[in-house]
Amino acid sequence: INTYIGLLDFIIYDIKFNFFFKKFKQNAYIITINIKQVLVKAYNSISKIKKVYT
In a domain, 4, yes or no: no
Percent of residues in the chain assigned helix, strand, coil, to nearest 5: 45, 10, 45
Residue 33 belongs to what domain range? Answer: 10-53
At 4, is the pLDDT very low, low, confident or very high (cuts 50, 70, 90)?
Answer: low
- On the question of pLDDT at 9 being above 70, the answer is no
- In this structure, of 12-16, 17-21, 24-28, 50-54, the range with the lowest mean pLDDT score is 50-54
In a domain, 30, yes or no: yes
Helices first, then strands: H and E counts in the chain: 2, 2
In a domain, 34, yes or no: yes
Q: How many domains does the chain have?
A: 1
pLDDT tens profile 18-50 = 555 677 777 777 777 776 666 656 555 655 555
Would the pTM of this model clear 0.75, i.e. be above it?
A: no
